Structure 1
Amino acid sequence: MGFPGTWMTESESVVYRVVPKCACSTIGQIMHYSDHGRFFDGDIHDAQEGLHKWALEQSQPKIEANVTAHKSYAFTCVRNPYTRILSSFFDKICGIQRNGKRYRGNLVPLLIQKYGIDVGGPDGQDEFDQIQSFRRFLLFARDSIRWRRPMEPDIHWSAMAGHISTFIINGGHYDKIFWTERFNDGMQDVLDAIETPHAVDLENIPRFNESEGHGPKRAHPVEDYFDDLSMHLVYEIYKKDFLLFQYDAEDPSNKMPVGEIDLDEVHAKLGD
């Protein structure tokens, strides 16, 4: 199985397990900058050089050797499950992707047909009932994650615990897991713990939100999208995420963590 979703700087200063929709574009660009003194020109997910990635065959032996020997500081980043799934909906379901097409080709027509979802017309810019459509999307997300029907779960809305666990199960160990909601504090802790060829001044690093502008703007506060049933579904899908990463399942309006992440507990619970 190896280490899917794992990125490492070419200098091997640091190892990062990507979790989709958790500031991964910004983190990847910071890693690139820390090695090369410049940002990658384009979406860091498209980069074929300047960063070791498990998806690049030539990088795999280097990543595997580093991670299994725990040679470098390893980290990942998490996000509130309510805002993460909502962001996935607006970006991936309602939005037009970088290639000018809908995400995953037939996915959106399937959701329109099977779940009655509206996505705001061909370009996602028409008015539509965002709350109703999102709640129907939640049913689809639950069906795909729980029963793998009508398709396999997508990386952008499958649980963070699942992404994070593959690194542990295959022999990796995290030195730090921090929250997107306290990004600067967490990323600074990582940078303070490693030595990089180029210094990174976090205060002046732009945020590389590659999904911004793909879809319609969210028209309501986060909590308006989640009624009692929606909250139940979200907890059913993301129970481990709420418990391990200390987010508030009872209050969708509170995106901030409510406790500290216990790394030993994460390794014990996700290493089985």
Structure 2
Amino acid sequence: MLLDMDDDGVARIRLNRPDAANGLDVELLRALNDAILTCHSDPRTRVVVLTGEGKNFCAGGDVKTFASKGTALPDYLREATAWLQIATASLLRLKTPVIVGIHGFAAGGGGLGLVCAADIVVAARSARIFSGAVRVGMAPDGGSSVTLAQIVGARKAMELLLFNPTLTAEEAQEIGLVNTVVDDADLEERLLRMARALAVLPPLALAATKRLVWDGIGASVEARLGEEARVVSELSGTPDAREGLAAVIERRPPNYSRA
């Protein structure tokens, strides 16, 4: 995890497992939470910008790590989802605005969950967004079972979570999942320009506005995080989940049971 702060009070958090498409494992999730808590405790922080290193923002959970756990996967996912819950809740509870910049894939409960927990989202044209949980015998997490519906509407959220279409940046903007789409080469410049525009505004007013908006749904989001984690852990012990993970790794269609 990379974290730095500039003179304008813009804190930059970068997911830093580029060789794994910034796939989330326990170690990365712990580091993400530590970075968020550092931003929370540092009085210089005015805005937080979250991005990913390498070719992708975040491909969701690290399926290779998950598959390697075998029958111990439910226990591992209980720990991983606990850290994801903490990180998601911490982003929602930050007093400062959170801007997420996405390029490449923002996928799975982790990638989509982080996008949905942001206050503002800027997408490069290369961005591709999908849930993917059902594809591998899992259920959505990272708060997305609540936040996605609040952002794009219940019917559209159900469609995205059940059918798992891959959205382009423009399609995501059309349904309100992202605020702005820019050329890949302009992503960094746009993120910093927006962050610095927010950084000069009254911090108490920003914090109060963010809290008023999220409190409309925030309590229900945090209340559902535990249930999401329970369901994901339970599903991860099923044959369908093991088959789904194997199919992703082996790049073949899954063969799910019909029982």
Q: Which has the higher contact order (CA 8 A, sep 6+)?
A: 1
TM superposition score normalised by structure 2: 0.35
Structure (1/2) with the larger strand percentage: 2
TM superposition score normalised by structure 1: 0.34
Structure (1/2) with the larger helix percentage: 2
Rg (Cα) greater in structure: 1
